[in-house]
Structure 1
């Protein structure tokens, strides 16, 4: 059976390109994350994570460790 990829969606306060640079290295280095992006045009600065193994809690921990807010969206 094939693994399905989940898309986890979060509201963040990652607003500037500098903010994005701070978090991008950590997200890029995480082998469980297949793809990610931040919609900085959106009022919620929506972070989307594509993965089949990482949990919402792990993402929240990664992002908040860098002093950003991270709240799951439905």
Structure 2
């Protein structure tokens, strides 16, 4: 069975391209984040992060510190 524990999913309030650009600047400069994306078309504005270094709580703290709502998507 495949292990997907390194793929972290979040519901956010990242709403537009300007928000996405700010998140890009933040996440692209964060060591340990291998890949990320945010789906602006989804009603939950799903943020997907691939990381073997971070847990959900660490990402939530990082995103909320920068002024966005973020919670684990289960």
The CA deviation at 1:26 is 1.0
* Correspondences of 1:35-46 after superposition (within 5 Å): 35-46=35-46
Unmatched tracts of structure 2, length 5 or more? none
- Structure 1: gaps (5+ residues): none
**Equivalence for 1:7:** 7
For residue 26 of structure 1, give the secondary structure of its aligned residue in structure 2: helix
Runs of 4+ off more than 4 Å:
none
Which structure's residues are more often strand, by fraction?
A: 1
When the two chains are superposed, the root-mean-square deviation of aligned CA atoms in Å is 1.3
The aligned length equals 71
TM-score with structure 1 length normalisation?
0.90
Contact 1:13 1:69 in 2 (8 A): yes
| SS of equivalent to 2:43 | coil
